[in-house]
Amino acid sequence: MIIVQARIPVQSDCRNIAYQHIHDFVNYTRAEQGCVGCEAYVSLEDPDILVIHQAWRAADDLDQHASGEGLEAFLEALPLFVAGEISTLRYDAVDDEEEGVGEGEGNAPEEVVVDIPLGVTFH
């Protein structure tokens, strides 16, 4: 399973626009093949930080999502409300029972901080 979390800073006066686009994105994503779950949250520390949490069955499903219409439409809408750097975390989750995973082994999250210019894809 692949878990992706994006933290998106939004302009205070554009929160409602951001909510609508994120709502549409989440609904579209939930219907995609291999999507185990997709949720959006408002940060408790800062109401101008929105968090999208996705879980994917496999890397191939995430790759399909990354080249899909739903993400493309969302990326096109970002300039309407984004206010700074978007950061993403990606986790590769494995079952402890899977071969090759022993005690003390794990997957540390990989943090990526991105300043997304128009026309650039993130996932």
This prediction has a pTM of 0.76
Domain membership of residue 49 (yes or no) is yes
Domain membership of residue 86 (yes or no) is yes
Question: Rounded to an integer, what distance in angstroms lies between the CA atom of residue 123 and that of residue 120?
Answer: 10
Q: Going edge to edge, which strands form the sheet with 49-56? A: 35-42, 49-56, 2-9, 86-92, 110-114
Q: Residue 8: which of 65, 62, 89, 109 has the closest Cα?
A: 89
Domain membership of residue 18 (yes or no) is yes
Cβ proximity of 123 and 65 under 8 Å: yes
Domain membership of residue 25 (yes or no) is yes
Phi, psi of 53 (to 5 degrees): -120, 120
Domain membership of residue 117 (yes or no) is no
CATH of the domain at 19: 3.30.70.100
Other CB atoms within a 10 A radius of the CB of residue 12 amount to 9
pLDDT in tens, 69-117: 999 999 999 999 999 999 999 999 887 666 554 444 555 555 555 454 4
Going from the C-alpha of 53 to that of each of 13, 26, 29, 96, 101, the distances in angstroms are 23, 9, 11, 22, 25
The range of the structural domain enclosing residue 32 comes to: 2-93
Domain membership of residue 119 (yes or no) is no
Question: Rounded to an integer, what distance in angstroms lies between the CA atom of residue 76 and that of residue 30?
Answer: 19
Domain membership of residue 20 (yes or no) is yes
Arithmetic mean of pLDDT, 25-52: 96
Domain membership of residue 112 (yes or no) is no
Number of structural domains (the chain) is 1
Q: What is the pLDDT of residue 45?
A: 92
Q: Say if residue 30's pLDDT is above 60.
A: yes
